[in-house]
Structure 1
Amino acid sequence: MSKYQRLKGRSFLAWVVLAALYGCAALERPESAVSDRVFPRVLQAGDVLDLHTGTKLSFEELIRALETVRIVYVGEVHAREADHEVQQRIVEGLWKAGKRIGIGVEMLPRTVQAPLDLWVRGTVDEAEFLEAVGWERHWGFPFEAYRPVFVFAREKNIPMRALNAPPAVARKVAHHGLEALAEEERRQIARHFFMDDAAHRAYIQEEFKAHVPGGIKDFETFYQAQLVWDETMAESLAVWLVQEPLDQVVVLAGKAHVNQRFGIPERVRRRLEHRYAVVVPAAVNEAPEQVTAEVGDYLVVTAAEKPAPGHGKRLGVLLDKNPEGRGLRVRQVVPGSRAEKAGFLAGDLIVAADGDPVSDVSDLHRRFQSPQDAVVFTVDREGRVMEIRVDFGR
C-alpha cells in the first residue's frame, strides 16, 4: 500500500469520526465568551491581560494558561510585524513547555499540503518551497513576515497544516454562488456550511457595505465566499485534530477570522467539541483598553503602530494574478494603508507602474526597491483607465 493510499484511508477515518461527532457538539458559545464586563485599566506595550478577569499576566503566565486548551488562535493584521512577533513567541513558548504542537496557517490552501510537508521535513529550500506552494499567487504578503515561524517549525520538526480554500474557488463563489462550482471545485472546500449565525452575518454585512462589487453578484454570494474561507479552515482543523496525536494546535489567521469567535473557532467546535482560546494582539495607540471578552480571551498589547499599515514601501493591497495574463487584480485594500489613501479600490487591475507593464508581484517588488519616493500606477477600473500616484516617501 502506498503512502498516499494510507493517507487516503486515514482521511476517510477522520471523516467518519467527524460525522459521528457532528450532532454532539454544543452549538451555543462557551459561557466565558459572552462576558461583557469592562475593567478599568491603563495599558502599555508589553502588557498581557486576561479579558475575563481583568488580571494582568506575564507572558510566561499567558503560556501556562494557553497550555490548557486544544487550539490557540492568534489573530493578525497581515502587514503588521508586531502581530507576527506575538504569534512567534506563543509558538516558541508552547513548544518549550514540552507540548506536542502543530501550526495551522490561513496563508496556504489545503491543496498545497504536500510541499508544506516537504518544507517541514527540510527536503526543499526556501525558493523551491515558495514556488511549489505558489506563495505570491495564493497569499501575496511578503514571506519575510512569516519566515521566523516557518523556519522554527522546520528546525523543530513541528507539523504544519495548510488550512484554507483555493482563492480562485472563493472568487468564483463570490461572483456566482456555491451552486456554480464544478464537482472538483466543490471537493476543494468544506462539505458543510453553517449560515445561521446572525452575529457573523451582520459583521459580514458591514464588510459588504464597504466593498467594491468587482463582479460580485450580491450579498448572499459575498457571504458564501466568506464562509468558504472560514468553514474550509474550520473543517481542515477538525480533521487534523482527529488525524494527528497533537496536544494542541496554534492557528495563525487574520483577526477577522478569529476575533469574536464566530469565524473559525466556533465553526471548529461545531464539528468537534474542545476547548480553545483566542489571543488578540492590539497596538497601544489603538485603544486596547476597549477590547473585551466578546472579542477574545487574552489581550497582548504591542508597541504603537504607525498610522498607515504597510510601513516601509508597502502599498497595502492583497493582489491576485489576472487569469487573462494582464496585470494584477486588487483583491483587498488594507484599511488606512497608502493604497486606500491614494484611492485604490478592490477590483482594480494594476497594469503598469511608472509605465512599465506589471504581470507579477515580483514586478512591483523590483519597482519598490528603487530609490524614488513616488510611483504612478496605471489602473484599469472596469474598463476605465486611470493613473494613481502613491507617495512612499512619507
Structure 2
Amino acid sequence: MSLEPLSVQAGQWIDSKSPEVRTHRSVMHEMAKKRVVLLGEQHDRHDIHRWQVNVSASLLALRDELAVGFEMFPRRIQPVLDEWVAGKLEAEQFLEKAEWGKVWGFDADLYWPLFHFCREFNVKMLALNCRRDLVTRVGKEGWEAIAEEDRDGLTPARPASLAHREHLLRLTNGGPPIMQGKPADAPEFDRFVRAQQTWDRAFACNIATYLEEKPEALVVGIIGRGHMEYGFGTPDQLDDLGIGEVGVLLTEHVGETFEKVSQSDIADAVFGLQG
C-alpha cells in the first residue's frame, strides 16, 4: 500500500492507481461494465449523497437494469422498499414502515434524493443489512455460536487479512481502549473485527442473492466507505462469494483535512468535492 499522496481538485476524477485525471465519461463507462459498483460515503454529508445520485443516474443511462442497495435497511425491510418504489407509500408512511428512526440514526433528508431517484426511475431498492443483534452476537460469541436459523441468510465471512485489520485499527484511531498500544493481530481486536465483517458479509450476501436472480443487473451499493477502501470489507466478501468485476468509487473534500488522498489504490477512482 503506497503512501504517496494524491492531489484531488473539485469536480475532478482521479485514478488513484496512476494517478491520472479521468473524465466523468471514462469513469462511468468503465464502471458500467462491472457487476457491482460501491459508492462509499460519510453518512452525514449531503454533498456525498448528491454525488451518489449523479453517479447512479449516469450508470442508469448506460445499463438497462440497475438496482441500488442500501446499508441503511435490514433485509426484513425489503417489502417496504418495494412498496416505496411502486408508489404505494407517502414519504412519512415510508419512513414509519421502514422504521427509519430505529434502523438508522441519521437525518432522512440526507437520503431523500436517493430514495426519490429510485422511485421516479423505477429502480429496484435493495435492503443490504442484517439484524443489528446478529452483529452484536457474532462480535461477542463468534460465528459458530450462532444457530443457522438465526444467521439472517448470511454465510461465514472470509477471515480478515492482517492488512485489513491494520486498516481497521487506523480507522478507529487504535481501536477500543483495550487495544491501546497493541498490534492489529492482537486477540483483543477480534470482537470488533468480527462485528465489522458481519456487516461486510451481509452487504455482500444480499448483493450476491440479487445477482443470482438478476444476473444482467448492475448493483450500486450505498455503503459507508470504511466497508470498501483498498478492496477490504465488502469487495473482499463479494470475491469470496464468486462475484468479480466490483468497482469502488470514493470522494474527497477539497479544502478540508481530506485535501489529499493519503494512499493510492484506495479505490478505482476518487472524485473531488468542494469542502
TM-score range normalised by the length of the shorter chain? 0.7 to 0.9
1:223 aligns with 2:193: yes
Unaligned runs of 5+ in 1: 1-33, 305-394
For 1:290, the aligned partner's letter is V
Going from structure 1 to structure 2, the CA distance change for 1:42 and 1:76 (only over 3 Å counts) comes to: closer
For 1:272, the aligned partner's letter is G
Q: Which residue in 1 is equivalent to 2:239?
A: 269
Normalising to structure 2: TM-score of the pair?
A: 0.87
CA shift, 1:245, in A, is 4.0
Question: Aligned match of 1:255 in 225, 240, 244?
Answer: 225
Unaligned runs of 5+ in 2: 179-186
Whole-angstrom CA distance in 2 between matches of 1:124 and 1:58: 38
Whole-angstrom CA distance in 2 between matches of 1:208 and 1:289: 19
Whole-angstrom CA distance in 2 between matches of 1:286 and 1:195: 32
Q: How many residues align?
A: 265
Q: Which residue in 2 is equivalent to 1:142?
A: 107
Other structure's SS at 1:260 match: helix
Bigger Rg, which one: 1
Q: 1:119 touches 1:154 (CA, 8 Å); kept in 2?
A: yes
Q: Which residue in 1 is equivalent to 2:56?
A: 91
CA shift, 1:201, in A, is 2.3
Per-residue Cα deviation, 1:276-315 (whole angstroms, up to 9, x for no partner): 21111010123444344421110101111xxxxxxxxxxx
Question: Aligned match of 1:199 in 163, 167, 172?
Answer: 163
Going from structure 1 to structure 2, the CA distance change for 1:175 and 1:45 (only over 3 Å counts) comes to: same
Identity of aligned residues (%): 28
Q: Which residue in 2 is equivalent to 1:335?
A: none
1:300 aligns with 2:271: yes
Q: Which residue in 1 is equivalent to 2:67?
A: 102
CA shift, 1:212, in A, is 5.9
Per-residue Cα deviation, 1:75-120 (whole angstroms, up to 9, x for no partner): 0000112211211110111112343111011111112111111111
Q: Which residue in 2 is equivalent to 1:233?
A: 203
CA shift, 1:50, in A, is 1.6
1:311-322 alignment to 2 at 5 Å? none
Q: Which residue in 1 is equivalent to 2:183?
A: none
Normalising to structure 1: TM-score of the pair?
A: 0.62
Q: Which residue in 2 is equivalent to 1:286?
A: 257
1:102-251 alignment to 2 at 5 Å? 102-186=67-151, 188-206=152-170, 207=172, 209-211=174-176, 218-251=188-221
CA shift, 1:150, in A, is 0.9
Structure 1 segments (4+ residues) deviating >6 Å: none
